Each structure stands twice: as structure tokens, then as C-alpha cells.
Structure 1
Amino acid sequence: MSNLSIQLLKALEPWRNARAWHVAFSGGLDSTVLLHLLAQLRQIHSLPPLSAIHVHHGLQAAADAWPAHCQALCDDLGVPLQVVRVHVQAGASLERAARDARYQAFVALTQAQEVLLTGQHRDDQAETFLFRLLRGAGVSGLAAMPHQRGLGEGDLCRPLLDVPRAHLEAYAQEHNLSWIEDPSNVRTDFSRNYLRHEIFPLLTRRWPQAAASMARSASHCAEAQGLLDELARQDLQEAGSVSEFDWLGLQSLELAPITSLSPARQRNALRHWLAALGLLPDTDHWAGWDALRDARADAQPVWKLAEGQLHRAGGRIWWMAGDWLRQPIAPMQWDNPLLPLALPGNGQLQLLGQAPGGSLQVRYRQGGEVMTVKNRGHRDLKRLLNEQGLPLFARGRLPLLYVNEQLLAVANLPGLDCSPCGRWQLQWLPTKSDQGLS
């Protein structure tokens, strides 16, 4: 076996027992060499079933001939090929939109215990590092492309990431491989192409090992980010106490353990926490965290992000997104209380036990409501909610059950959610706040 084959087999060792290997096959040099290497290796090694995926973006006329080229090579190698046509959304960055469309297709086609293999190499890693450096990225961004990560229900692996492009070219020439040269790759109005064709030749003439050095720096940053993530998990463990209002279904953290940290550790912990919800705020936007953290104790500060918000209430910070940012629709008649009632944009409501008689209606708080409480008589709802400590942001979404225009119960709040004699209980299952940042 060639050194390149040995290096590839070693990189793929953790996935030798996967259900399938899919090669992201553009038809270019990188993916052509990767597919050819794998097709040769499977002749002498027991490997998972191998297939190829070609994504047709439909962005240029030349691309219409590429599926046929890919099919011919796959036929020669005996590898099944799937061609997927995607629609690229118009936007400011055509490169990013095409990448997003491509990876959406890959996510849909990669099942559990399956691996998508891509052909990025060391020169690509160096370009990514420099591109992000010029955009002012932090340690996480400068870590560039990881060797592996999750992809939908499966995994993505870049087994050639430590291999220089020159080695791939030499392999292709040795085996008389032909590949597609994308005409758009010479357009220097694309940022990556500008770096590849204008900047890197200058750098490598002065520093021949520039690409290798940048890739090594990216590896150092990845290791540093791993330590930062480990520290963040430790700090978040201190703040991850259970709230009495966990039934709201919202992600939340106890504020005091976070604010006891240094400002840098606060941001590190919150970056790690918010990363699971989507894109992180940029450097200038972190002033919103300072304002939320330092607001008066009796204030209700909000940090507004792209598609979500952080609220501070009850000594905690709460992540809200999606339906939680929209006013639910009310009132609603509940004609059959034996069945759960779907609340538009607000989950569902159900009555446990023997339903009360009369005309049932569900409303939301408007202000000035009064209800009768066992052994306490008539009480203002506002005072009752204050006694319960329910966060203000949740009060306008809390379902109120009326019978013949009388406020009878408040969902989920002990002592207010059931009949005086215990014949029934009002239970609310809120909508999930699962929409992340954009």
C-alpha cells in the first residue's frame, strides 16, 4: 500500500464498524482521490459499504455535465452514486448559501451509525484558518475545520485533512485520474479563491511551510478550545441547578454561580451554553450580557439575540425563542374537556379527573383578574402569582380556566390548579423553546 493509503486507513480506524461510508463526491481532485483510494482499499480490507453522493447546485451551465462524469468514474470503480439536486437560496454570500444547501442534503442522507467522508486537505485547512483570522475569529473559529464532528444522526469525517494538496495531485497523476475543474474556482471575487490564488502564492514564496504552519496553529487552537470547553462544562455544572419552574420547558441557568466567575469565564461558559442553540453573538453584542447581568435586582432585563432572548428572573437566566416570543391566541372554548386542548403556539392543556360542569373557556392574563381560593376568599391573581414566584415572562402565557365567566383555575400552580375538593386538576404542557439563534 502507498503511504497515502496507510494514512487514510489510520484516519478512518474509528469508523471501521460503521454501517456505511458515503463520500461527498464533487468530482474535483480531492474527492476523486478519496473515492479512488477507498475503492482500492476495500479490495484488500474489510470496510463498510461504500457509496458516493454528488450534489448538483444548478448555479452554472457547466455543472450540468458533472453528474455524468461522476457516474462514469463511479461505474469504473463499482461504487453506487446518488445525485442530489438542491436549491441555493439567494443571498449576500453565494459560497455560504451553496455550502448550506449542500450540507442540508448530506444531513438528510446520513443515517445513524453512518459516516460522510469529505476530501478537504491541509491546504484547505490553512485557507480556512487565514480566512477566519482576517475576520477576527476567536480560538474556536481559528481551530478551523475539525477532523470529525456530528452530522445529523451520523458523523462527518475529513480523513485527508493532514495531507497536502500536492500529495493528492501526485496520486491522481500516478493513477491517471481525471477530475472536474470548477470554473468558479478561478473567480477571485470569492474570498477563498482570492486567498488561494493571490495571497497564498506570495506567502509560500517567502515562507514555503506557510500552509503547514497555519494548519498546525489551527490544531493548537482546537486543543485550546477543548480546554475552554472543559472549563465551561465545569462552570455550567455549578449553575445547572434544577428550578421549581422546570416544567416551563425552558433552558435556564442559576445566575449567581455565573456572575461569581471572572468576565472572561462568564463569556466562555455562556458561549458553550448558547452554542447548542445556534450562532453565537459577535464581540460587540456581548455588551447585552453585561447589561442583563448588572441590572438592578428588581429589574426584568432582556438580552435580545438574533432569534431568541435571554431573560433574567428569579435569580436565573432563561432562554426563550420561537413561540415563546409570540403572544398566544385566546380566548378558546373547551367543548370537550375529556380530550386535551391544543393551544395555538402554546402547547396543550388537559384536565385530569372529573371535569367541572358549565361552559369552559381558556383565556390568558389581561390584568385585574380575581379568583376564589379555598380558605382565603377572593384574591387578586397578580398577588397570587407573586406569591408563587412565577417569572413575569411566563405569566402572559399561563392558561386560565373560566367556567361561566368565573376564573376557576390557573394551570400548574399548586393550590390554584385544582378544584377545592380535589376532583380535577388543570395541567399545562408548554410549547418547547427549541428554536436556536440564526
Structure 2
Amino acid sequence: MKPLLSAKLLQTLAPWRNAPAWHIAFSGGLDSTVLLHLLANLAKTEKLPALGAVHVHHGLQAAADAWPAHCQSVCDALGVPLKVMRVQVRAGASLERAARDARYQAFSEVVGAGEVLLIGQHRDDQAETLLFRLLRGAGVQGLAAMPMQRALAGGHLLRPLLRSSRAQLQAYAEEHQLTWIEDPSNADPRFSRNYLRHRVFPRLTERWPQAVANLARAAEHLSEAQGLLDELAHIDLQAAEQPSPFPWLPLPSLALAPLCELSDARQRNALRHWLSPLTRLPDSDHWAGWHSLRDAKLDAQPLWRLANGDLHRCGERIWWLPSGWSEFSDASVSWAQPQNPLELPGNGQLRLIGRVPEGVLQVRYRQGGEIIDIPGRGRRDLKRLLNESGLPGFVRGRLPLLYRGEQLLAAPSLAGLWKTSNDGWQLHWMPQTCDQGLS
């Protein structure tokens, strides 16, 4: 019969037994040392995916320089290959957060399609996370604390020890005479989590011995509640995810009217769900920006600035523009070989469909006051035509225009509802795709 900790671990990991590989995030500390030892021992009697350990070296303190060698010796003794990854931690207001971001970026580079990253965080970590986020005024999603599993790169991140206490892990380590690293920074109360761990939790558990277990259980309840909110958001977004009138425009967008039919709370819930893969979400005080955008006059074209981009309203639709999407070169470009597609710097690709017009062609951008000949309608003001088409204002400045000398021959046919030529050719534009911030 397997020991309790091994049996619980094997049961937790059962759904991922057919993964191509299991990577263990191995800091060398107590938690990851126990996890690595448990899995290495289970691999002797169970058919498990290929095991490997990953040590991320942040280089933030001199003591850490010796840790890769310690981790290598532990892995060598257990017969588990180790990958050491050195990262640069960006300077910022929160060193903890910057180190975490660098660490998870490294993990993302390791985990392949369908593979699993295993992290040794435990029940005490979960309780600390809940209390820390509660003190920061987090919502339900934040108070759900650390999920047992989530997507990571093309695979999965798992925390299989999340229902085990630190005391259980230490008892296992002592029973098996394991050695581990004690990070000196873990004793520094200037870090918020350390303050909670060393100053707050001892007082809580003195009065309420089950405080850690109860807080961790509360996090599970909140995680379930967040799951229900996600289901509600999915239902509400189905009505708003109507096809865009400009399917060629590679930007996420929603119809506004279905959102406005919801209560304010449901609007915020749906938008949080929609925006979460696109940007860091605003805190409660900044949701006034959504109300201003939503309630603006129809022709106002307002925007709401967020951490990683802007939310624009154009008519009865909202559009997400990731940071940098609007940056492009508006310099004129000569089209020497119009029979071939033309790459526009930072602005996608332009191509002529049909017979190529004669003469020297050039691509320019709007300056204002442009006039274009429209078959059957005569000479028309380009601005008025764009207004008729409903093309969002944030696109108009980067709309490529085809000139022959000083004559405006065409605007891309996809941008409007009018015909652009009687001569059997059309100008087609495929705008720049910006991977950052696209679903």
C-alpha cells in the first residue's frame, strides 16, 4: 500500500498520465524537493510520462549562485534530468511580481504541446494567497487564489500538492532525510507574503487552529463561484459576438447593444471575461471609463485606455486595439511592380485584383480633402464616403490610397461599400495583424 502523500499525488495526476512529459519546477526548496522525490519514487513502480526538472536562476542574490549545483546533485541522485534557465528580472515597483513574471516566461518556453508543468505549492501557500489578495481588495477571481490547474503555453500547469499542508511535506522530507535550500529572502518580513507567513498566520492559528485549512477551503469555494461567473459571461457574450461588418479587420470586437441590455454587474463580468486574455484588467475605480465609453453619444467615438491597449467605441460596436497596433509608417510608397503584392511598412499588404492600371502608381495616406471618382456617382468626397461605410475612425488614418500622379485612383474596396473602378480591377488591403492582444 502506497504512503498517503504518494497515493494522493497519483490520484491527483491521474488525468494527465498520458501527457508527453512532466516537467517539475524545481527551486531546490522544501516543496519542490518533496514533489521531485515523490515523483521519482513513483516512476520506479508506475508508468509515468518522462520526468524532467527545471530550475530558474533569477540572479537576485549571491546565495542563489550555488543553487543550480545543489539542484543538479539532487537530480543526479534521483536520475531526473535537470534544465537550468537563467533569466533577467526587470526592475519595477514589485520585485516579487517581476521575478514571478520572468520565471513563468521561462516555464512557458519549456512546456511543449500537451506537456505538464508541476509546481510544489501547497495548502499554506493557498491560504497566504487568499489573505494577501483579500487585503488588496481583489474580486472573486483574485480570491479564488491559485487554481489547481490552468493552461500554460501549449500545455498545462498543475499544482498537485495544493491540498497538502506544509507540515505534511516537511514530515515527508524528514522521514526520507531530504536536504533542501532555505532561501534567505523567505525570512525577510519586508516582503508581503513573508510578513503574513511569519507575523500574521502564527497569531491566527494560535486563536483558530484550522485557519489555514479553512482559508484554503474558502479559496476552493470562490474558485467554484468564479467558474459559474465564467459560464454566465460566456452566455452573455454569445449575443454580443455578432459578426463584424468588417471581417477583414483583424481586431476583436463586440456589438454594444446586447451588452447594454445587461445589468452593470453582468456587463463588467462579461467584459472581464472578454478582456482577460487581452490586457491586465482595471481595478474597481477605473471601471468608470467603461461607463463613459458605453454612454457616449453615437458620434463621439470615445476610447477607454487600459494597461495593454485601448477599447474603442465606433457607432454601436466596441473594438480592442492592442498597444502598438496603430503604429505604422505613413510615408508614401512607390509601387514599381503592381502586378505583385505590395508590403506596407507596419500596415499589412496591398494587392491589385484584375488588370493593372497604367502609369506610375504610388500609395499615400489621408491628408484630408481627398476627392475620388465613383462609377455612377461622380466625384465624391472621400471623408463622406468613409462615413457612409461606417469604417471605424481608428482605421481611416492608415487606409492606403492608390494614386497616379496627383489623381486618387482608388481606396481599398474592402473599406467601403462603393465600387472603385469601371476598368475591371479592384484594390484589396489586408491590414497588419498584431499577435499581441488578439484572441
- TM superposition score normalised by structure 2: 0.97
Residue 333 of structure 1: how far off its partner (Å) = 1.1
Name the structure 1 match of 2:47.
Answer: 46
Name the structure 1 match of 2:85.
Answer: 84
Contact 1:417 1:427 in 2 (8 A): no
Name the structure 1 match of 2:422.
Answer: 420
Q: 2:92 aligns to what SS in structure 1?
A: coil
Name the structure 2 match of 1:351.
Answer: 352
Contact 2:126 2:216 in 1 (8 A): yes
The equivalences for 1:10-409 within 5 A come to 10-326=11-327, 328-409=329-410
Contact 2:386 2:416 in 1 (8 A): no
Residue 435 of structure 1: how far off its partner (Å) = 2.9
Determine the C-alpha separation between the residues in 2 that align with 1:229 and 1:349.
Answer: 40
More deviation in 32-41 or 297-306?
A: 297-306
Aligned pair count? 436
Contact 2:21 2:116 in 1 (8 A): yes
Determine the C-alpha separation between the residues in 2 that align with 1:431 and 1:284.
Answer: 34
Determine the C-alpha separation between the residues in 1 that align with 2:49 and 2:419.
Answer: 56
C-alpha root-mean-square deviation of aligned residues, in Å?
1.4
Determine the C-alpha separation between the residues in 2 that align with 1:307 and 1:405.
Answer: 39
Determine the C-alpha separation between the residues in 2 that align with 1:417 and 1:159.
Answer: 61
Contact 1:410 1:417 in 2 (8 A): no
Q: 2:206 aligns to what SS in structure 1?
A: helix
Determine the C-alpha separation between the residues in 1 that align with 2:435 and 2:207.
Answer: 50
Residue 354 of structure 1: how far off its partner (Å) = 2.2
Determine the C-alpha separation between the residues in 2 that align with 1:416 and 1:296.
Answer: 27
More deviation in 348-357 or 210-219?
A: 348-357
Residue 151 of structure 1: how far off its partner (Å) = 0.8
Q: 1:213 aligns to what SS in structure 2?
A: helix
Q: 2:65 aligns to what SS in structure 1?
A: helix
Q: 1:254 to 1:161 in 2, by over 3 A?
A: same
Q: 1:248 aligns to what SS in structure 2?
A: coil
Unaligned regions of 5+ residues in structure 1, if any? none
Residue 418 of structure 1: how far off its partner (Å) = 4.2
Contact 1:409 1:417 in 2 (8 A): no
Residue 327 of structure 1: how far off its partner (Å) = 5.4
Letter in 2 for 1:58: G
- TM superposition score normalised by structure 1: 0.97
Percent of pairs with identical residues: 67
Residue 419 of structure 1: how far off its partner (Å) = 2.7
Contact 1:340 1:348 in 2 (8 A): yes
More deviation in 355-364 or 297-306?
A: 297-306
Q: 2:48 aligns to what SS in structure 1?
A: coil
Unaligned regions of 5+ residues in structure 2, if any? none
Q: 2:325 aligns to what SS in structure 1?
A: helix
Residue 338 of structure 1: how far off its partner (Å) = 2.2
Contact 1:55 1:86 in 2 (8 A): yes
Residue 416 of structure 1: how far off its partner (Å) = 4.8
Q: Deviations over 1:411-436 (max 9, x none)?
A: 124565643131x2211111124433
Letter in 1 for 2:364: R
Residue 370 of structure 1: how far off its partner (Å) = 0.4
Letter in 1 for 2:293: L
Q: 1:399 to 1:27 in 2, by over 3 A?
A: same
Determine the C-alpha separation between the residues in 2 that align with 1:221 and 1:211.
Answer: 15
Q: Deviations over 1:87-133 (max 9, x none)?
A: 11111111111111111110001100110100000000000001100
